[in-house]
Amino acid sequence: MRLDTISTIEQFISDALLSSPQIPLGVNVIRLAATTDEEGIAALSRSIVVRYTGSSMSIKQRQPLSIERTLKFELIHSSQSYLTESGHEGALQMCAGAYLSLNNTIPMRTGTDVIVPFSMTSENFDGLTDSSHYVYTQDWEVVVIEVNPTISMNPCVLYGNCSQLFPLELTGGIYPGDVLYQNRLYSPLVPPPFEVDYDEEYCGVVESDGDLVYKYNPGLTFIEDWKNYDFISTDTFVPETGILICSIKDKEGNHIDSYYAGNCDNRGLLSITAQFRDGEKTNPALKGKNGLAYANKWPKTEIYSDPTDPDCAITNVKYGWIFRIDLAVTLTIDFVNYYKVNGAPYGVGWVTEGDFTMIREYEGVDGCDDPEASNKGPQECE
């Protein structure tokens, strides 16, 4: 659209009515944004007021951006009664003349591509004024299409930083009761497993008043007081199935029970397996001792920006949030141990001992025991 598109269309309507043989002689056609009283114009004996009242838009194509815009206009027909002439008849003639003059017409040189010509959507009698003017209102629409000729570039491409487009280590969430086998997350199954290709609805548990209950059947408890136990993968599958056998242990490491788990919802972690170079297995770690951990404090764990500052910023992250942790870099403040976290919501942060569970733990390659080597690659540490 051009800056003058709306004004040009209003002028097109006015010109079409003024030059139309269907409109009675002596009718004044004027463009107003409000009523004659509000505009400060004296009421004329016979007049048609043309004004734009608004528009609605809908997107038809994303790239390049294409929008259909419905422009709405209003015609106010006003005719005054005289001793020898009926204002009612005059107003009706003006309404009919406008319909015959504008219907199915296309405004020209407006800077838009018209896809639906002018059409009248409604016609109503507004009443008789104190000055004996009969007033009728017609609503008109014309539909245009606007196409932006340029391709909208994602800001990350434009400014050269697309890190937010790529997944973090976590593609799903680590939920209570989940275990990790290789890089897949397995959730408890309603016993007994229904079939090999089990549905997602049979998989998973949720927290309820300190207990874990099955999503499929909340009336069936998986385990009570779940925060007192650890859920461990035995790395053993039921033969010829994708069902993993898992173990429930107390905090002292004693076996309590076994259960079945499945990767029903195809959740997993990325980039946590060992790397290989020159045919030999190498450690992807860069520090002396580090790895991946997840927040295990229910429902939220605190990540501190600077534990040495009592007023430091604290971010609460949900149970199961994954972060990279440097076990070799610690702070002890008031007998509380804090471990360094990389990838905290505001960059580097610190988490309290006991508020995280290790997923993978690595020992650094030769030459990388020094914490100052955190930014070096394996080839620089050898």
Please give the domain boundaries of the chain with CATH numbers for all domains.
5-147 (3.30.2000.10), 179-262 (no CATH), 285-381 (2.30.30.40)
Model pLDDT, residue 191: 74
Q: How far is CA 225 from the centre of its chain?
A: 36
To the nearest 10 degrees (0 to 180), the angle between helices 5-18 and 87-102 is: 120
**Tokens describing residue 226:** 């779940």
Model pLDDT, residue 140: 97
Integer Cα distance of 365 and 370 in angstroms: 11
Give Cβ neighbours of residue 21 (< 8 Å, ≥ 6 apart).
none
At 14, is the secondary structure helix, strand, or coil? helix
- Model confidence over 51-60: pLDDT tens digits? 999 999 998 8
Model pLDDT, residue 345: 63
Whether this model's pTM surpasses 0.75: no
* pLDDT less than 50: residues of the chain: 167-171, 271-287, 365-382
Model pLDDT, residue 41: 66
> Is the Cβ–Cβ distance between 229 and 208 less than 8 Å?
no
- Model confidence over 2-42: pLDDT tens digits? 889 999 999 999 999 999 999 988 899 999 876 666 665 66
- Model confidence over 160-190: pLDDT tens digits? 656 555 544 444 568 888 998 887 889 998 8
> Is the Cβ–Cβ distance between 97 and 23 less than 8 Å?
yes
**Tokens describing residue 276:** 């290989």
Model pLDDT, residue 173: 65
